[in-house]
Homo-oligomer: A and B are copies of this chain.
Amino acid sequence: MAPPHRERSEPFENGCICIICVMVKILRDKIIDVLKREDYGVTVNVKGWVRTRRGNKNICFIALNDGSTIKSVQIVADLEKFSEESLRKVTTGACLSVNGILVESPGQGQQAEIHATEIDVLGEADPATYPLQKKGHSLEYLREIAHLRPRTNTFGAVFRIRHHMSMAIHTFFHERGFFYFHTPLITASDCEGAGQMFQVTTKNLYNLKMDEKGSIDFSDDFFGKQASLTVSGQLEGELGAMSLGAIYTFGPTFRAENSNTPRHLAEFWMIEPEVAFNEIEENMQLAEDFIKYCVKWALDHCQDDLEFLNDMYDKELLQRLNSVIAGEFVRLPYTKGIEILEKAVADGHQFEFPIFWGADLAAEHERYLVEEHFKKPVILTDYPKEIKSFYMKQNDDGKTVRAMDVLFPKIGEIIGGSQREESYEKLKQRADEMGVPTKDIWWYLDTRKFGTAPHSGFGLGFERLMLFVTGMANIRDVIPFPRTPRNCEF
């Protein structure tokens, strides 16, 4: 039981039952707190939305949920005290304020329930039009009403877990002395190919000025040049690492890829740590520690929500989460990975895509290594330079770069990273070879010109992590308002 509010540092905190609060107004208790209380007999106030209503001619049971937990509190209304008329508007989706007595629930496995003394309907929900009736809805249908779906058990669970994963990320890096570094979203440099970027403009499209060569004149655009939405904060993140030592980004990122798949979003969140003086071994250790920390946080903080998702969507979810934090990740050079896959083919395993040294691995190859061969997460390193980015550190063999991809069960690649090329000459040469316009990234090259050092980093797509932790199958179901081709609702 919470102490009276005058004894607490924060006045009017939830749960206060001192005389001042009770006389003035019975303050609201969050349902997550009410369900833990055992001071039966006191008066409480809860506010929330009706999930279900059932009962008979003597009694009415209302399951009320306020979003603080997946569990609803049971409100018991004695029909001798409440007229049918007064309860007419208590329908699924309606918002109630309920005063009542906290009572130990007779139901098995249930916690406290509330015997109502006063029920106030704050907001009605017309049963004829409210889109979320109690019957189960398909995930596809719920995407159409993404503005209401957080009121369901499924999406309440997913978005509470999303919060917890964000908090785990910030806490992990904060505890290790990393600084959260806000890299820009609007960018005038384009290092990954313009085809996949959204243009950002304030130009009047009805009156586009052309120069004498027939090119659109962007000198009068907001930034005085063409601008677009970033596909990564890494390059700017490296600037942070090469001054503050260790930074991470955590923010929205964009891809204008016309992919209508369960794995692609046009707007998604990324985490990108960069660390000065880290070489690839330390980068691998950081990635492994990081992802285990997040998964453990979920298991420690989101038990009710995970159990629900395990029961409803993915019976192996909890087992998979526990297995990931139990053992060491395998560390395997790409070349050895190819040998394993080639042997699998020789032994009769069928892959859709051909496998050979130099090939980019398809999801089926990654999953074979993780799920069938090693049966644990794999960090694959030292990829052929041709299939990786210009900024990765070149190995002495002249063929491979110090890339590292973390491959996970069910998900495939969950993290991609590398040691970065710290030599100005090698970096410039590789950028030129790969057609990266170095005039746009003079500032990036400057870090190698002035006080360069070995450094490493990686990127984690936050929604990939969310898919893994929640067991959901479609990336549109782990972000509140997904942006995909032809979909920009809400």
Shortest beta-carbon distance, A148 to chain B, in Å? Answer: 7
A186 CA / B254 CA spacing, docked (Å): 10
**Chain B residues whose CB sits within 8 angstroms of the CB of A485 once the complex forms:** 222-224
Q: Tell me, yes or no, whether A489 is within 8 Å of chain B by CB.
A: yes
Given contacts A201-B201, A256-B222, contact A243 B451 (CB under 8 A): no
Q: Tell me, yes or no, whether A446 is within 8 Å of chain B by CB.
A: yes
A57 CA / B243 CA spacing, docked (Å): 30
Q: Tell me, yes or no, whether A240 is within 8 Å of chain B by CB.
A: yes
Q: Tell me, yes or no, whether A40 is within 8 Å of chain B by CB.
A: no
Q: Tell me, yes or no, whether A185 is within 8 Å of chain B by CB.
A: yes
How many copies of the shown chain assemble into the complex? 2
Q: Say whether A289 contacts B166, CB under 8 Å.
A: no
**Chain B residues whose CB sits within 8 angstroms of the CB of A47 once the complex forms:** 276-277, 453
Instruction: Point out which of A28, A32, A240, A489 has the most chain B C-beta atoms below 10 A from its C-beta.
Output: A489
Q: Say whether B452 contacts A123, CB under 8 Å.
A: yes
Checking B28, B174, B251, B446 against A277 with a beta-carbon cut-off of 8 angstroms, the contacting residue is B28
Q: Tell me, yes or no, whether A159 is within 8 Å of chain B by CB.
A: yes
**Chain B residues whose CB sits within 8 angstroms of the CB of A488 once the complex forms:** 184, 186-188, 223-225, 227
Given contacts A202-B256, A243-B151, A485-B222, contact A185 B185 (CB under 8 A): yes
Q: Say whether B222 contacts A150, CB under 8 Å.
A: no
Q: Say whether A267 contacts B167, CB under 8 Å.
A: no
**Chain B residues whose CB sits within 8 angstroms of the CB of A122 once the complex forms:** 422, 451-454
How many A residues have CB within 8 A of the partner chain? 113
Q: Say whether A181 contacts B199, CB under 8 Å.
A: no
**A-B residue pairs, 7 tightest by C-beta:** A123-B452, A150-B243, A67-B244, A67-B245, A223-B488, A147-B443, A95-B451
**Chain B residues whose CB sits within 8 angstroms of the CB of A174 once the complex forms:** 163, 167
**Chain B residues whose CB sits within 8 angstroms of the CB of A254 once the complex forms:** 186
Given contacts A159-B240, A202-B198, A216-B205, contact A267 B184 (CB under 8 A): yes
Q: Tell me, yes or no, whether A206 is within 8 Å of chain B by CB.
A: yes
Known A-B contacts: A123-B452, A185-B185. Give 9 more (CB < 8 A): A10-B289, A147-B446, A166-B170, A167-B174, A184-B488, A186-B266, A205-B216, A223-B266, A239-B480
A130 CA / B451 CA spacing, docked (Å): 9
Q: Say whether A450 contacts B282, CB under 8 Å.
A: no
Q: Tell me, yes or no, whether A331 is within 8 Å of chain B by CB.
A: no
Q: Tell me, yes or no, whether A18 is within 8 Å of chain B by CB.
A: no
Q: Say whether B183 contacts A244, CB under 8 Å.
A: no
Chain A window 75-109, contacts with chain B (Cβ cutoff 8 Å), 1 for yes, 0 for no: 00000000000000000011101000000000000
A222 CA / B256 CA spacing, docked (Å): 7
Checking B146, B181, B188, B450 against A480 with a beta-carbon cut-off of 8 angstroms, the contacting residue is B181
Q: Say whether A452 contacts B95, CB under 8 Å.
A: yes
Checking B202, B285, B443 against A12 with a beta-carbon cut-off of 8 angstroms, the contacting residue is B285
Residue of B nearest to A150 (CB): B243
Chain A window 307-336, contacts with chain B (Cβ cutoff 8 Å), 1 for yes, 0 for no: 000000000000000000000000000000
A201 CA / B125 CA spacing, docked (Å): 38
Q: Tell me, yes or no, whether A376 is within 8 Å of chain B by CB.
A: no
Q: Tell me, yes or no, whether A61 is within 8 Å of chain B by CB.
A: no
Residue of B nearest to A199 (CB): B201
A490 CA / B443 CA spacing, docked (Å): 7
A182 CA / B189 CA spacing, docked (Å): 26
**Chain B residues whose CB sits within 8 angstroms of the CB of A50 once the complex forms:** 451
A276 CA / B49 CA spacing, docked (Å): 11
**Chain B residues whose CB sits within 8 angstroms of the CB of A450 once the complex forms:** 93, 123-126, 129-132, 148
A130 CA / B67 CA spacing, docked (Å): 55
**Chain B residues whose CB sits within 8 angstroms of the CB of A182 once the complex forms:** 162, 252, 269, 479-480
Q: Tell me, yes or no, whether A303 is within 8 Å of chain B by CB.
A: no
Q: Tell me, yes or no, whether A68 is within 8 Å of chain B by CB.
A: yes
**Chain B residues whose CB sits within 8 angstroms of the CB of A3 once the complex forms:** none
